Amino acid sequence: MKRIFLGLAALLALAAAYFFMPSILPDGQQVKPVQSLEVDPDDRPHGMLWVEGGAFSMGSNDDLANADEQPAHLVKVDGYWIDEHEVTVAAFDSFVRATGYKTEAEIPHSAGQWQACWPAATPFDAKAANTAGSFIATASGDTKHWQWTQGASWRHPLGPASTAQPTHPVQHISWNDAIAYCAWQGSRLPSEAEWEYAAIAGRDSMRSAWGKNTPEKPAAAVALSAVQPVKSFAANPWRLYDLDGNVAEWCGDWYDARYYKGMGNAVAVQNPLGPSADSSKQLTKRVLKGGDYLAAGPDFSSCRPSARRAMHPSFSGSATGFRTIMTAPMWEAKKVLSKLKKQD
């Protein structure tokens, strides 16, 4: 009886933690939650580091800040475990092998489905109708261009003739795909506040991703033609990699350009989860944070921790990936489930 109670308690704790879980995954796919039960011998989630909770100034008021980053406001977050680097091709492959999951880029979409997630400044390509594919990013200066490419996916990041490398961050991942991975792993996407807190990493001045000043040639996966293996560049002060480049990372929050308005006060907002997607606001996009491999100088503005981007949750591209987090209760619940599984 005690064993059953512990198992139910663990499942309930994990279920309560999934405040970003959609009711339907792409194409009606089902993913059994918490099937990846790997536990490191040093009692920490595999590949994760602990971030102690605290207060910080979220957003920005400096001259590089866009309107949706303003005003800067005080936020407080609880501690959490976070992936030390972006989810890799190898890790995502383990998920797919275990579940048979197909990403949204691998599933043919109707013209209407494509148009719902098509990048705003990119002319619609009629050849995409009823076809599987994804968007490959190119850049000219500070401007990013998306080219829909048939057959592009996490397995083939530059199109059918290319092959994803195991140590690279997984690409062509939609928000929905990331959520499915989290369900299997027993983790979740970070909130925008949790992501920004980890990117700042206790530093006082973050006008750029590198502190007060932006180097002419930053030691990061930026201003490149392709992604790089994770951990190719130095970690931030909290030993976390690639929060300033490689791929932009999905957060759990809905995006609202006006969300920060009215938050410029002395009272810290506790564990904000972003705006609710009620019908009056008609929110349709999820937040993306961090620079990517195409980020360009001289300011590398998209790499700033406060910079905000957003895409439809079904959008995927060569510059979109993710990392995951676990709260302390989620981790404790996962350990209980791991022990119960070993006893079976």
Mean pLDDT for the stretch of residues 289-314: 90
Give dist(CA 100, CA 274) in Å, integer.
Answer: 32
Give the distance from CA 32 to its chain's centroid: 21
Residue 96 has pLDDT above 50, yes or no: yes
200 burial type by CB count under 10 A (0-12 exposed, 13-18 middle, 19+ buried): buried
Give dist(CA 157, CA 153) in Å, integer.
Answer: 5
Give dist(CA 168, CA 247) in Å, integer.
Answer: 10
What is the per-residue pLDDT for 83?
98
Which is it for strands 143-150 and 133-140: parallel, antiparallel or unpaired? antiparallel
Instruction: Name the residue type at position 300.
Output: F
Kindly report the CA angle at 290 between 308 and 320, in degrees rounded to 5? 100
Q: What is the domain range of residue 45? A: 2-343
What is the per-residue pLDDT for 25?
56
Predicted confidence band of residue 20 (pLDDT cuts 50, 70, 90): very low
225-243 as b/e: b if 16+ CB within 10 A: eebbbbebbeebebebbbb
Residue 240: give its domain's CATH number: 3.90.1580.10
In this structure, how many other beta carbons lie within 10 angstroms of the beta carbon of residue 129? 15
**Average of per-residue pLDDT values in the chain:** 86
Q: Which of 91, 291, 109, 107 is nearest to 209 (CA)?
A: 291
* DSSP state letter for 42: T
Higher-confidence residue of 35 and 151: namely: 151
The count of domains in the chain is: 1
